[in-house]
Amino acid sequence: MREELFAVGDVPVALWAPETPDENRPVILLGHGGGFHKTAPEMVALATRLVAEGGFTVVCPDVPGHGDRPVDEELNRIATANQTRIEAGADIATILAEFHALVALTTVREWRSVLDFVGARRAGYRGVSLGCGLGVPFVAAEPRVRAAVLGLGSGLASREAAAAITAPVEFLLQWDDERVPREHALALFDAFGSAGKTLHANPGKHGDLPDHEIDSTIRFFRRHL
Amino acid sequence: MREELFAVGDVPVALWAPETPDENRPVILLGHGGGFHKTAPEMVALATRLVAEGGFTVVCPDVPGHGDRPVDEELNRIATANQTRIEAGADIATILAEFHALVALTTVREWRSVLDFVGARRAGYRGVSLGCGLGVPFVAAEPRVRAAVLGLGSGLASREAAAAITAPVEFLLQWDDERVPREHALALFDAFGSAGKTLHANPGKHGDLPDHEIDSTIRFFRRHL
């Protein structure tokens, strides 16, 4: 496997791929979680398996304000204001949904440029938590994405974008998620426009996704890409 | 593959197994759906794949009043009375749950005898719809069952039995099930006592289980048996 680090415009990107080049290889774009970055251990572990077992090219861009990107003063200002609103009793789920929608205005554009840069013709997307909030509008907007694994996200974020998605979706829900109310997660699954959507729910908290879902993710992308 | 038809006491049973005998082979017991029987095409197709791809021995007993069993006057009387209650406005889900609990008093005993008869040491169970209503109390009562695929069933039936199940459960839910209200199905998943439970939900009606769930069922049993 080869690993490359490069930038697409202002966006630092990590790429993992099999040694032998193949321009017809599908590309999986990974959206990392909040507070993580493109080469967090979870991303590298997932990318390694997608390359080794799926034969895919995998790319992971840093989200604004994360990883090797500069501090984003505007996002920080909004995040601080949000924290104040939450302490004043505002609904966390609603505020998080607004924040994801705001950041997605940037990431949808950036991630499409990343697919252009690597010459992707067919792509998959995988993102949970923040990666779901940003992924829903991306998958809705980008016709090269033919399959998506999303999860740990809420129907409060971009319900309309979810309805516009027609690609197959495998959606991961943690039954005891302390951050996303179960009914909000079920509402997001309900909203997806895809005929081929499937929901996988497992016991455990937000951070406790079981390993067998990684196996399932790889099979899902192999089936659809 | 060999196929055998035999009786255990009053219970007609179909068995499918690889040609070479192996007394350590796990046994999967299939519970058929309401109105079906042990050699319905769905059962034969599923058994064939479990034998060929999983290397399991598979047995399917006829439920009372189904297949090669005589008409059960008592069950028929109750079913007719239930129909009258439904026409008078009683809740179908409640009546069905009561009926399943009643039939399970017989099938739990019969199915344990079937496992005894074939010398099963480790077993799996797979049943949806009626096969779930009867399967929940069976899996709860039978320690040889180490993994169960259940689905299209409701939390109104045997919630207490569900809570007593500790074996891993893969639970199938049809998102647009016209017979089982979604919240009743989610309540059943919620009730399972298993640490290793997983929910797979797909769009479609009661009878529309997608083929990829058969693949998943085989992998699930291979993982746990």
- Does the structural domain A2-224 have CATH classification 3.40.50.1820? yes
Partners of residue A147 on adjacent β-strands: A124
Which of B170, B172, B175, B220 to substitute to test the interface with A, most A CBs within 10 Å?
Answer: B175
How sure is the predictor about A23, in pLDDT bands with cuts at 50, 70 and 90? confident
Give the model's pLDDT for residue A156.
81
**Cβ-based interface (< 8 Å): residues of B facing A:** 173, 175, 186, 189-190, 195, 197-203, 210, 212, 216, 223
How sure is the predictor about B60, in pLDDT bands with cuts at 50, 70 and 90? very high
Are B177 and B209 in contact by the 8 Å Cβ rule? The answer is no
Q: CB-hemisphere CA count at 13 Å for A82? A: 17
Give the model's pLDDT for residue B91.
86
Name the phi and psi angles at A31, rounded to 5: -100, 120
pLDDT tens per residue, range A141-157 = 999 999 999 999 988 87
pLDDT tens per residue, range B88-123 = 998 888 888 889 999 999 999 999 999 999 999 999
ipTM score here?
0.84
Q: CB-hemisphere CA count at 13 Å for A89? A: 0
pLDDT tens per residue, range B174-186 = 999 998 999 999 9
Kindly report the pTM of this predicted structure.
0.90
**What is the distance of C-alpha B143 from the center of its chain?**
16
Q: Which residue of A has its CA nearest to B202?
A: A198
- Terminal C-alpha separation, chain B: 20
pLDDT tens per residue, range B131-146 = 999 999 999 999 999 9
Q: What distance in Å separates the CA atoms of residue B153 and residue B169, rounded to the nearest whole number?
A: 13
Sort out which chain B residues have CB atoms less than 8 A from A190's CB and list them.
175
